[in-house]
Structure formats: structure tokens, C-alpha cells
Structure 1
């Protein structure tokens, strides 16, 4: 993905867009489960401090008419929610003591970015 695909001020997140900028919940979960903790931490450590500014930037943008750069930023913020499970709760990419791979598929997420 070419550079400058995110809104100004969020250039530091560009290297993570290709992997973590997933369009739906199922893909975000699968990518977290497939990533190493080093990959997860590299993303988490960069996106977490930028998350408040990202949310502020996005708060007046309509989900129904989100420009592409803002949509990509929003996908990264949603990915933060997924990786924070690994970092803050599980201490691993997947929940401890669960089979992997598993057959769980999220078929119908929310209308936007679901």
C-alpha cells in the first residue's frame, strides 16, 4: 500500500495498515490470532498513544460517508481493540487453553466495519 493513505498526523501508523487495517471483525480476530506477540506489541506500542487523537479526529465523521483515509484510520483503531485483548488480558495472541485453529466464524457483524 502506498504511503500517505492515512489522515495527516497519523503517518506513524502507515507501516501497520496493510496487515492490521482489516475491513471486518472476523479478519481482525484472525490476524490477531495469527500474529506473534512481537508483531502485536509493535503495533500496540505505536497505536495506543495515537488512539485518543485518532478518536478525536474521527468523532465528527459519519460512518455512512467516511472518507477512505478516515476509514483506514478507524480500522486501525478497531484493530487496537483486538490486539489489546492479547496484550492486556491473555498475554498471548489467543485465549489460553483454547484450541487453535478453531472453526469459529463471525458471520454477521455490525453494519459498519463489522
Structure 2
């Protein structure tokens, strides 16, 4: 079995499908998810952010490994789901109807 995340973050393995490289894909996954799915991901990932932040700060971005890159993407997904979990209690932005947000430029990694 391939290593998806660094060993100290093995608890995140069930949520490996959240480790997607683009903001657009993370947003699409959030909107397509149920609140139960968002809650499950958030409840496991959020407590690991405390150790994940200093871990990722110690990683050289020029030579980042695939497991570290996926961990970074997963924590970016955590940011994408935090507000829906903590405030809105729904995957979509409240009162926005059919409107969408499309990122036309992705941040560089």
C-alpha cells in the first residue's frame, strides 16, 4: 500500500480523497458532500492542524515529497470546509441560489 500522508498523520488516511491540488476541485468536493461527510473530515483533520502547521513549515517547498504535498492539499481542503462546518451548517454559501465561484488562477505550490 502506498503512503498517502506522512506517518504521523495516518489518521487522515480515510480522508485521502480530500487531498486535491486545486481550489476549484476542493470547492466542488465540498459542495458535493453531505454535512455528515464534512463533519467527519473536519473532526479528524482540525485537531491535527496544530501539529500539521509546524510540520509543514519545516518542509522545503522546493523538494516537497508527495506525502507532504498531499498533506498540504488536505489542510487547504480543511480551510475550504471550516466555515460551512463551523458557521453555516451546510456545504453551500447560504442564500446564494445557483451562483458559483470559479477560480481562474490557482495559487502556486
**Which TM-score applies when normalising by structure 2?**
0.91
Q: 2:55 aligns with which of 54, 57, 62?
A: 57
**Structure that is richer in helix per residue:** 2
Give the whole-Å Cα distance in 2 for the aligned partners of 1:9 and 1:56.
13
TM superposition shift of 1:64: 2.9
**SS of equivalent to 2:24:** helix
Query: 1:99 maps to what in 2?
Result: 97
Equivalent of residue 43 in structure 2, options 25, 31, 45: 45
1:30-76 superposed Cα distances (whole Å, 9 cap, x missing partner): 11111000000000000011111111111121223211010011111
| Alignment coverage as a number of residue pairs | 109
Corresponding residue number in structure 1 for 2:79? 81
Q: d(CA) in 2 for partners of 1:93 and 1:64?
A: 34
Unmatched segments (≥5 aa) in structure 1: none
**Coordinate RMSD, CA, aligned:** 1.4
Deviates more, 1:53-62 or 1:69-78: 53-62
Q: What 5-or-longer segments of structure 2 have no aligned partner?
A: none
Q: Retained in 2: the 8 A contact 1:4–1:14?
A: no
Alpha-carbon distance change, 96 to 103 in structure 1, aligned in 2, over 3 angstroms = closer
